[in-house]
Chain A
Amino acid sequence: MTEQVKFYQVGSFAVGNRLLPLEVRSIQSDPGRSNALTSGHRACQGCGEALGARYAVDAAMRGADGKLVAVNATGCLEVFSTPYPETSWQMPWLHSLFGNAPAVAAGVAAALRAKGREDIRVLAQGGDGGTVDIGFGCLSGMFERNDDVLYVCYDNEGYMNTGVQRSGATPPTALTQTTQAVGESPGNPFGTGKDVPRIAMAHEIPYVATATVADLHDLEAKVTRAMQLRGARYIHVLVPCPLGWGSASQDTLKVARAATQSGLFPVFEAERGEVSAVSQIRRQVPVEDYLRLQSRFAHLFAPGREEARAKLQARADRNIERYGLIGPHTEALPGPAEDNPAEDSPHEEGTP
């Protein structure tokens, strides 16, 4: 974004930069941003999903010239933004059921097409529960039909507003109400879960991307790119949950950053089923730096849990290798990552 100019004070990492020309500043730095999700919502302090949703929807609003309809799956986002009769959404917004947001969005797109209003764009959004588990069939159908919908999944790795239960996006070893830190393999067991970005890629839809709230510029660029395309598009955004992850409310971005910089959450984009770009790690950190910020992994630091930590590190290393996350500009950890061969179980590979 700023290659041609040396604005090194903050480069392009901060939200804004007074030294940059207006047209290359982030959408969030604009006082006239849509604020599609406005103040007064009831998300917890430091909610990553509330932040991620505003980032993504404001960018989509910009990409659609303000003509955007959102369909929302049941989940935290829906619950905290629309307690009857209040709404935080400053846009047309529909909610139906937990599992059918992709189908409803496909219907909205079909209706707009029937009315000849294809200038109005459709966004569907949900949490990882509604996307990875409950709405998964509808999502796959939406992909298969290549419906003209951008689906954004805000992944907080569990069912958080119902009291933190495990979902298909919960990482191994994480503590939830349904995966207690007891027994031989405490927390969520290894070898379970789904890597939905890669499943979406397998549908060979026009666009698939992952992003996090820790890199606003990247997230906005991906939403903007997705809005330039038609057909089924999928963006998977990692949004830390202070409540469910047991992290401090002010650490939301720090946790997301550690997820990407350790390699546990690979950030990339893919067009028609092929990876087209990868965000390489800037300053690599060991997986432990990510784990220590969250009480859901506290049990991993008890004596005798070294192996579980090593397996998580191996997962990160597998991602690093698969997506080429370490490049010429990476400040890498001492010792090449290839020295840590990944586990061989096909179920664990590269799950974000």
Chain B
Amino acid sequence: MKEKPFAITLDVGTSLANHTGTWRTERPVYVHLMPPCNDACPAGENVQGWLYPAEEGHYEQAWRTLTDDNPFPAIMGRVCYHPCQTACNRAQLDEAVGINAVERFLGDEALKQGWAFRSPEVETGKRVLVVGAGPSGLSAAYHLRRFGHQVTVRESQDQPGGMMRYGIPTYRLPREILDAEVQRIADIGVRFEYGQRVDSVTDLLREYDAVFLAVGAQRGRRAYVPAGEAAKVMDAVELLHDMETDEPPQLGRRVAVYGGGNTALDAARTAKRLGAEEAVIVYRRTQDRMPAHDSELQEALEEGVLVKWLSTVKHVAVGSILIEKMELDENGFPQPTGETEELAADSLVLALGQESDLGLVEGLDDVEIVDGVVKVDARMMTGRPGLFAGGDMVPDDRTVTTGIGHGKQAARHIDAFLRGEPYGHPARPEMASYDRLTPWYYSEAPHQVRPLIETARRQGTFDEVVQGLDEQSAKFEARRCMSCGNCFGCDNCFGVCPDNAVRKLGTGAYMYEFDYDFCKGCGLCVAECPSGSILMVPEEL
């Protein structure tokens, strides 16, 4: 042993012998919280989860994570009203992340690269029938097939897509995109039977192990509008449907559209593109009460669509309609004023909502129909065991994305039903609200806007209006994600620990570990975690 200096009796040792972890009363733990985007997605997409690989340019991985929940990113990136962006925490910092634009980029990239879904690893031998090849039916078919079931989709029309084809105009959703994304589902072994209308499900329930109904709502809701003999009145759904046939409808020079939803706007914008000089929307209430999406109204107004607010149609004659002015009462309901006005119009398109044709479940006394829609339980099952339903024919929001969500949910429960066990959904984590973040760490970064084609070209053609982001912009946009409630590997915990009690195990999310031998429980890592992915929990005594 070395001789020690004066007054020194002990060997020098490292402070690592001093386990300061004993000071601690609370310990930090890594958690996964629910990001608001994921929470808001009607299709249950793991938005934060797929933006993460996209940030690194790992687009295929991003696309695979995305399509675990939703097989239609290219369609979603065009027609979804992105409630995720409305919920996005980044809106409180600068602007919401353009999730929808990145989704479209991934969807388009997948089509460009020809990425395919993986076929199921096991075959269960169970047979499931899906009635209706709309968003909900296709989504259910996709998920059921991935569970390994034999899936047949029966569709009354000649082509798949449902309202995605017969309700959404091509300038919002080009048909080659729709066809390509449906083909990918057929490629993993889903059988399609077109032009076969299902009038009754009774026999089918014997033939198949389970049946999922998703027939949609494609009958225009009728309102009584007094009309002269020769007056031209048609349905918006009929109009949009006929656009897919060889004989586009004749509307005339001046077209009035009655209604305030997205379908009304689609009808008016379609009329413009068919050559109408004037397309006027007649709506009973005011702009702030309009159910249509803001961006669609904006685009319609840019294209020269006119709107008569606070107006109802009193009478339709040849060449003109009589509208009555309304005013909102104290409850916000429109009330007639008696004041009328003549509006020149060659035709009137009614866009007053849609109803489901539920003939196929008539006579099934255990299937309950309330207010024109089929009642289902939390499993999306009707009163008849093995008969499930979703999409526009059950009570919920009527959007493409909601329908896709129903399809996924139903598929999970059908799979559980076929296996004879209940579907156990993982517990929902707590919300990653904005106040859990440390926004200081996020740089200012403006939102990347998708270009629109010029208005002049829009009015006259059915070319797609909204263009996609290029790769650089899409990556940039993905990187604006704050990864709320989920680690993204920023090293802050590893860096800010005054006790060097965080181990870094690699690069990327959750590649850290606390060294509880030395962690004093100061909570700095929790306070400085940008995304709120660390929580303090009390030590057990």
Binding site for B on A (CB under 8 A): 6-19, 25-26, 28-29, 31, 35, 37-43, 45-48, 50-51, 54, 81, 84-88, 90, 216, 242, 248-254, 257, 283
Contacts and interface: CB of A to CB of B under 8 A. Distances in A.
Contacts of A19: 55-56, 479
B445 to A, nearest CB: 4
Given A28-B495, A39-B499, A45-B520, A8 B479 contact: yes
Given A8-B445, A50-B499, A216-B495, A81 B530 contact: no
A9 B503 CA distance: 23
B442 A86 contact: no
B125 interface: no
Contacts of B470: none
B15 A88 contact: yes
Nearest to A216: B495
Nearest to B19: A40
15 contacts: A6-B445, A8-B442, A8-B444, A14-B492, A15-B495, A18-B56, A37-B500, A38-B16, A39-B517, A39-B518, A51-B498, A88-B15, A242-B522, A253-B496, A257-B440
B14 A88 contact: yes
Contact of A11 (B8, B18, B442, B522): B442
B489 A39 contact: no
B479 A18 contact: no
A45 B26 CA distance: 12
Contacts of B480: 8-9
Nearest to B507: A18
Nearest to A213: B496
B498 A40 contact: no
Interface in B1-59: 8, 10-20, 23, 55-56
Contact of B500 (A45, A54, A249): A54
A81 B491 contact: no
B15 A86 contact: yes
Nearest to A90: B14
A335 B12 CA distance: 58
B442 A10 contact: yes
B132 interface: no
B494 A29 contact: yes
Nearest to B505: A31
B53 to A, nearest CB: 11
B15 A13 contact: no
B102 to A, nearest CB: 13
A308 B452 CA distance: 57
Interface residues of B, number: 56
A9 B488 contact: yes
Contact of A39 (B55, B482, B501): B501
B283 to A, nearest CB: 40
Contacts of B71: none
Given A10-B530, A39-B500, A54-B500, A252 B524 contact: yes
B423 interface: no
Given A15-B494, A18-B508, A40-B19, A85 B520 contact: no
Contacts of B501: 39
B522 A45 contact: yes
A8 B443 contact: yes
Contacts of A17: 490-491
Contacts of A35: 500
B476 interface: yes
B442 A9 contact: yes
B476 A40 contact: no
Contacts of A48: 498
A14 B530 contact: yes
A80 to B, nearest CB: 9
A6 B15 contact: no
Contacts of B507: 18
B10 A85 contact: yes
A88 B499 CA distance: 10
A18 B13 contact: no
A18 B445 contact: no
Given A8-B445, A31-B504, A51-B496, 9 more contacts: A9-B482, A15-B495, A18-B56, A35-B500, A45-B523, A50-B498, A86-B14, A250-B526, A283-B440
Interface in B396-417: none
Nearest to B11: A85
A81 B444 CA distance: 39
A277 B8 CA distance: 48
A257 B524 CA distance: 13
B441 interface: yes
B443 A13 contact: yes
- Most interface-central of B56, B479, B480, B517 (chain A CB within 10 A): B479
B25 to A, nearest CB: 10
